[in-house]
Amino acid sequence: MSTRCTINFCDNKKVNAKIYRHSDGNPDSVLPDLKEFFETVEKETKDHRFNDTDYLAAKFVVWQARQFSRPAGSLDFIGVGVCMKDPGDIQYTYFVNCDKFTDEGYPQVDHKKV
Tens digits of residue pLDDT in 38-56: 999 999 998 889 999 999 9
Q: Is the pTM of this model over 0.75?
A: yes
What is the three-class DSSP state of 46?
coil
Range of the domain at 68: 5-113
Residue 100 near residue 14, CB atoms below 8 Å: no
Q: How many domains does the chain have?
A: 1
Tens digits of residue pLDDT in 73-97: 777 777 889 999 999 999 999 999 9
Percent of the chain at pLDDT exceeding 70:
99
CA dihedral over 106, 32, 54, 60, signed as positive or negative: positive
Residues 6+ apart with CB under 8 A from 42: 48
